[in-house]
Amino acid sequence: MDPVLLARFQFAMTVGFHFIFPPLTIGIAWMLVIFEGIGWKKNNAVYTEIGKFFGKILGLIFAVGVATGIVMEFQFGTNWAEYSKFVGDIFGAPLAAEGLFAFFLESTFLGLYIFGRDKVSKGVHWFSIFMVAVGSTISAFWILVANSWQQTPAGFILRNGRAELTDFWTAVFNPSTLPRFFHTLDAALIAGAFFVAGVSAYLILKNKGVQVAKTALRVAVVFGLIVSLLEVFPFGHEHAKQVAETQPEKFAATQGLYTTQEGAPAAIFAFPTNHPPKLLFPIEIPGVLSWLAFGDSKAVIKGINAFPPDEVPPLFLTFVSYHNMVILGMYFIFIMAVAAFFLYKKTLFDKKLLLRIFVWSIPLPVIATQLGWIAAEVGRQPWIVYGLLKTKDAVSFTVGTGELIFSIILFGLIYLLLGSVFLVLLIKKIKTGPDTIVKEA
């Protein structure tokens, strides 16, 4: 078997599994900042109870995120040694900065938040969850700096057979860092909103801790509607515009645009094939893609045929994951808008079907983040650092096929076990509901 393919498979599996947890951590942490803040400032026991309940769940999610994150810090060295040598001068700095400025902050203050409720003042306790949220957000920033540099490298010079840093801030704020950061951070907030909304909807349906759950759902719907709208416009739109400009091959692949054309259409739905190269059963809106990407419905957009065949990404996966992500993004707005409408009409808690939809929607934002990540990473192929280093030249040549198969099976089994135990414990914790029934505050 091809060792490059195996190494890629292992990386995709370990990052994919890890990436389930950080967005939930970030999203839930920021929601807790709101809940605990109101609980503290207004001395409101209902909000504090929401904080206690989701705080425990956050602890569980964070633990699995940490456990799977350790692998990531070392995997560049173990499996991508040539990559590490090539980019070490630049890529290591954001990882170290993530540890120093972010991971220390969230880990240390999460301990204080979970175990310190009765040991510190209410203000300090609120500050601890605020630091967890800030830390997890800074963490996302530095990791996305590293990832963005792979997509749109900047601030370096090729010297001594590697990329050497020339300007730190240019490397940090390379062309795709900010669009990617806002887009991904907001996706995490959506994941948090849907998690809180789904769990609260479940509790209302099962008539457990209803008072706590209703309050949490109200906040989650308002918060969720805002962040879902922001995700499409401006964040998604800006990110797409940036990709169109900086990585035209990837943009063409996500849109299924085979030939360069003026006034390119946006494909809403299609089934892309490579042989022959075209979209089957397309539903397209003429001129819209050109207008979205460059603000001009007549603008020329490069198609896949404009690039050398060995420098274009795999089409099917890029197109399908991108489009499903967009569909999910629209769905999030729709559901939150409907819920907000009924919340305004004061009938939300009677809409059993909608509540049930919320319960089943809990995993959807996580799936959307995974799809977005697939579109971004597969869309960058065959490059590991866009335009500089190909993925096939980046692996550890000293690691053999046998070792790779062993570690893939090992991590596959471990993650299967962790994932199952996590789900069982999470569902059990949710079913138990908030600890105490609180009287009207």
Partner 1 sequence: MDLNIIWFLLVGVLVIGYAILDGFDLGVGVIQLFTKNENERRVNINSIGPVWDGNEVWLLTGGGALFAAFPIVYATVFSGFYLAFMLLLTFLIFRAVSFEFRKYSETAKAKQIWDYSFAIGSLGPALLYGVAIGNIMRGVPIQIIEGKIVNEISFLGLLNPYALLIGILSLVMFTMHGAIYLTMKTEDKQRHKLIKWANSLWIALVVLYFVSTVATMFAAPFLFVGILKNPIFWVLFILLLASFIYVPVALKSGKFGHAFIASSTLISMMIGLFALSLFPRLVPSSVDLNLHSLTIYNASSSQTTLETMLIIALIGVPLVLIYTIFVYRVFRGPVKITKESY
219/395 with CB nearer partner 1: 395
Q: Which residues of 187-210 are buried (b: 16+ CB within 10 A; e: fewer)?
A: bbbbbbbbbbbbbbbbbbbeebbb
Q: How far is the C-alpha of 368 from the C-alpha of 242, rounded, in Å?
A: 20
Q: For partner 1, which is the closer residue by CB, 25 or 290?
A: 25
- Residue 90 interacts with partner 1 (CB under 8 A): yes or no: yes
> Burial of 337 by CB count in 10 Å (0-12 exposed, 13-18 middle, 19+ buried)?
middle
Stretch in the footprint of partner 1 (CB under 8 A) among 82-90, 193-201, 223-231, 307-315? 82-90
Q: How far is the CB of 433 from partner 1 (least distance, A)?
A: 14
C-alpha 242/C-alpha 96 separation (Å) is 27
Question: Which of 97/213 has CB closer to partner 1?
Answer: 97
3-state secondary structure of 135: helix
3 state SS of 271:
strand
- Smallest gap from Cβ 66 to partner 1, in A, equals 5
Q: List binders of partner 1 among 247-276 (CB under 8 A).
A: none
Amino acid at 31: M
3-state DSSP assignment of residue 200: helix
Residues 126-155, interacting with partner 1 (CB under 8 A): 131
Per CB under 8 A, contacts with partner 1 among 181-210 are none
CA distance readout (Å), 338 to 150, 210, 262, 331, 341: 39, 21, 38, 11, 5
Residue 230 is given by DSSP the state H
Looking at the Cβ atoms of 288 and 388, the one nearer to partner 1 is 388
Using the minimum distance from each CB to partner 1, give the nearer residue, 159 or 345: 159
Q: Restricting to residues 29-68, which ones interact with partner 1 according to CB under 8 A?
A: 59-60, 63-64, 66-68
Closest CB to partner 1 among residues 13, 399: 399
Quick one: which segment of 35-43, 197-205, 338-346, 425-433 binds partner 1 (CB under 8 A)?
425-433
> DSSP letter at 304?
G
CB of 200 to partner 1, least distance (A): 20
- Token pair for 395: 């692996």
Of the candidates 23, 139, 4, which has an alpha carbon nearest to the alpha carbon of residue 373? 23
Shortest distance in whole angstroms from residue 391 CB to partner 1: 16
Minimum distance from residue 42 beta carbon to partner 1 (Å): 23
Give the span between the Cα atoms of 161 and 76, in whole angstroms. Answer: 18
For partner 1, how many residues bind (rule: CB under 8 A)?
72
Within 99-118, the residues that bind partner 1 by CB under 8 A are 99-101, 103-105, 107-112, 114-118
Q: Can you list the alpha helix ranges (DSSP code H) found in 265-400?
A: 288-294, 315-344, 352-360, 364-378
Residues 6+ apart with CB under 8 A from 427: none
Nearer to partner 1, 263 or 419 (CB): 419
Q: Which range, of 76-84, 219-227, 353-361, 370-378, touches partner 1 by CB under 8 A?
A: 76-84
- Binder of partner 1 out of 73, 311, 350, 393 (CB under 8 A): 73
What do you get for the CA distance between the two ends of the chain, in Å? Answer: 64
- The length of the chain in residues reads 441
The window from 226-234, 241-249, 344-352, 393-401 that contacts partner 1 (CB under 8 A) reads 393-401
d(CA 216, CA 219) in angstroms, rounded, equals: 5
**Given candidates 3, 27, 69, 256, which one binds partner 1 under the rule CB under 8 A?**
69
CB-wise, 81 or 340, nearer to partner 1? Answer: 81
3-state secondary structure of 173: coil
Reading the block at residue 14, the tokens are 């370990």
Distance CA 371, CA 184 (A): 12
Nearer to partner 1, 119 or 346 (CB): 119
Which CB sits closer to partner 1, 350 or 435?
435
Which segment (158-166, 189-197, 232-240, 380-388) binds partner 1 by CB under 8 A?
Answer: 158-166
Residue 269: strand, helix, or coil = strand
Stretch that binds partner 1, among 160-168, 176-184, 275-283, 311-319 (CB under 8 A): 160-168
In terms of CB distance, is 330 or 423 closer to partner 1?
A: 423
Q: How far is the CB of 124 from partner 1 (least distance, A)?
A: 9
Decide: is 238 part of the binding site for partner 1 (CB under 8 A).
no
Residue 429, interface with partner 1 (CB under 8 A)?
Answer: yes
| Structure tokens, 237 | 């739109």
